[in-house]
Amino acid sequence: MPQVLRAVGRKDLRLAAPPGRGAAVSNDRGSAASSCAAQPRVARFSDATNARSRYARSRSRLANALLLTAPGIPMLFMGQEFLEDKYWSDSPNYFADSLIWWDGLNSDKAMQDHLRFIRDLIQVRQGHRTLCGDRINVFHVQNDNRVLAFHRWLDGSGQDVVVALSLCEDTWWSYQLGFPIPGDRLDVFNSDVYDNWVNPAVAGYGGRITADAPPLHGFETSANIVIPTNGILVLAKP
Overall number of domains in the chain: 2
Residues 65 and 87 in one domain: yes
Distance CA 137, CA 10 (A): 7
DSSP state of 49: S
CATH code of the domain in which 168 resides: 2.60.40.1180
pLDDT < 50: residue spans in the chain:
10-21, 32-36
Q: What per-residue confidence (pLDDT) applies to 87?
A: 76
Distance CA 5, CA 60 (A): 17
Q: What per-residue confidence (pLDDT) applies to 96?
A: 65
- The pTM (predicted TM-score) of the whole model is 0.86
> Which residue range is the domain that position 80 belongs to?
2-9+17-127
Q: What per-residue confidence (pLDDT) applies to 20?
A: 46
Which among 160, 153, 83 is positioned nearest to 118, based on CA atoms? 83
Q: What is the pLDDT of residues 125-171, one digit of tens each?
A: 999 999 999 999 999 999 999 999 999 999 999 999 999 999 999 99
**Given 65, 99, 127, which residue is the final one in a domain?**
127
Residues 23 and 99 in one domain: yes
